[in-house]
Amino acid sequence: MAMNPDSPQTGARIVGKGSETAAGPGPYIMASSTLEGDRVYSSDNEELGKIKHIMLDVERGRIAYAVMSSGGFLGIGDKLLALPWAALTLDTTQKCFLLNVSGERVKTAPGFDKDHWPSMADIGWATTVHEYYGARAHWQDDPLAPGSGIEPPGMGGPKL
């Protein structure tokens, strides 16, 4: 199954042997719980952590981020990172995600802890995160995007 090749890539890419022959709904349409717990590897093949949550942009009906847990032990001291969905590639052969940056870059990435989440709807924060990973923002090329006369993610909807 192939999506429109002329559409800009705002989601995760899919690679691997299972991407064209998988039985059932995946890998193009999947339950988020199927992906939670998947390992994440850097572009230089360093294991970075595991997917803890998949965050939705509810107004647009798109995946905004995968929240990855990195470090810590038994959930204590974990650093959480919001990874733009477009910065990830799902590898259906290895059943993991590949992140488009090096392990060294991830070590200095902006993160947060489980008790102090950022306001992910804040356009300043979101822009910084997408720029850090060199990823296209989930709201780009969207009629609700900044400059369209309508507010960015979570900022109150259309202006009348």
Domain housing 85: 13-17+29-133
Q: Total domain count for the chain?
A: 1
CA proximity to 10, closest of 101, 135, 99 = 135
Spell out the residues 6+ positions from residue 6 whose beta carbon is closer than 8 angstroms to its own.
Answer: none
| Residue 70: per-residue pLDDT | 87
| Residue 75: per-residue pLDDT | 55
Residue at 140 is within a domain: no
Residue at 138 is within a domain: no
CATH number of the domain where residue 88 is located: 2.30.30.240
Structure confidence by residue, pLDDT tens digits, 35-46: 899 999 999 999
pTM, full prediction: 0.75
Which stretches of the chain drop beneath a pLDDT of 50?
1-7, 146-153, 155-160
Q: Where are the alpha helices (DSSP H) in 16-143?
A: 18-21, 32-35, 103-107, 123-133
| Residue 148: per-residue pLDDT | 42
